[in-house]
């Protein structure tokens, strides 16, 4: 149906450094305050710990307590819950974005581009597959933080997705790049883009201003929040997106290539 809506709730928290229980408790309280319809509730990158390079201490298996918490919250609130956690699997550590449905099914996306400047590549294993998932007739491409700097990985070949969703711990000193690249990804891929970040100071003394944002397919700013804890729901409309792609079909002229 051309008139389908997507209700997307973005939670921009002040993550308590490496304190899983306290973080999960604050998210649960925040989610309980959401009124109105909600298809997807989005938490930031490494939402239970902050952007930590201590996976040996903090990682959990897929049947661990944080994933169970996500499945419980998704079922209780009858919504999809998305965000990334530190996951251990087959002796390796992943910065893994989870797409947890209320029926208990879980989609996974392992962060492709590891942030070598912060030594992420020394602690985590990179992913090699994209995940484009679906809800209510919308196709959503899941990405994590540093992936934002690499447009080929997000290229919307043939209009294969409608929303590009980034979760991040993106610090204040590079906030201009965050906001600019989110907007650019929306324009070049003729899609909605949502980026969910955090605020506050982490255990490495990095400051975060949030700047969680939603941009429309023409690059128009739909919502943005800076320097404060936030929980906000945006309702995206399918009709303007389809009309733009039909009237101005730039995706048809894009270069063809394979992602290896």
User: Which tens digit of pLDDT belongs to each residue from 177-198?
Assistant: 999 999 999 999 999 999 999 9
- For the chain, which residues score pLDDT lower than 70? 1-3, 259-260
Helix/strand/coil (H, E, C) string of 103-153? CCCEEEEECCCCCHHHCHHHCCCCCCCCCEEEECCEEEEEEEHHHHHCHHH
- Global pTM value: 0.97
As a whole number of angstroms, the longest Cα–Cα distance in the chain is 52
Task: Look at the block and give the residue holding tokens 């959401």.
Answer: 34
CATH topology of domain 5-247: Nitrilase/N-carbamoyl-D-aminoacid amidohydrolase (3.60.110)
Interacting residues of 106 by C-beta distance below 8 A, sequence separation 6+: 62, 67, 71, 98, 99, 100
How far apart are alpha carbons 41 and 179 in whole angstroms? 21
Tell me how far the alpha carbon of residue 155 is from its chain's centroid.
16
How much is the pLDDT for 67? 98
Please list the active-site residues.
45, 111, 145
CA dist 229 and 119 (Å) reads: 27
Residue 1: per-residue pLDDT: 42
Predicted confidence at residue 258, as pLDDT, reads: 74
What's the confidence (pLDDT) of residue 2?
45
CA-atom Rg of the chain in angstroms: 17
CA 63 to chain centre: 21
User: Computed from CA positions of residues 190, 159, 148, 70, in that sequence, does the dihedral angle turn out positive or negative?
Assistant: positive
| pLDDT at position 260 | 62
């Amino acid at each position: 149906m051309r008139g389908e809506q997507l209700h997307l709730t973005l939670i921009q928290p002040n993550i308590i450094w490496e304190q899983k229980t306290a973080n999960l408790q604050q998210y649960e309280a925040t989610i309980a305050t959401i009124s109105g319809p909600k298809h997807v509730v989005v938490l930031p990158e490494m939402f239970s710990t902050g952007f930590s390079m201590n996976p040996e201490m903090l990682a959990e298996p897929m049947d661990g307590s944080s994933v169970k918490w996500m499945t419980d919250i998704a079922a209780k609130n009858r919504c999809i819950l998305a965000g990334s956690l530190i996951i251990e699997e087959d002796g390796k550590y992943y910065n893994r974005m989870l797409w947890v449905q209320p029926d208990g099914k879980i989609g996974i996306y392992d962060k492709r581009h590891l942030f070598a400047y912060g030594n992420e590549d020394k602690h985590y294993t990179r992913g090699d597959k994209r995940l484009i998932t679906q809800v209510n007739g919308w196709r959503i491409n899941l990405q994590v933080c540093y992936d934002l700097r690499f447009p080929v990985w997000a290229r919307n070949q043939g209009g294969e997705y409608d929303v590009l969703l980034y979760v991040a711990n993106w610090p204040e000193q590079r906030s201009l790049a965050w906001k600019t690249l989110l907007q650019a990804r929306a324009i070049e891929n003729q899609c909605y883009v949502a980026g969910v970040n955090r605020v506050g100071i982490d255990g490495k003394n990095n400051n975060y201003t949030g700047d969680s944002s939603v941009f429309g397919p023409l690059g128009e700013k739909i919502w943005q929040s800076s320097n404060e804890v936030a929980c906000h729901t945006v309702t995206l409309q399918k009709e303007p997106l389809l009309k733009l792609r039909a009237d101005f079909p730039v995706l048809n002229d894009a270069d063809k290539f394979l992602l290896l």
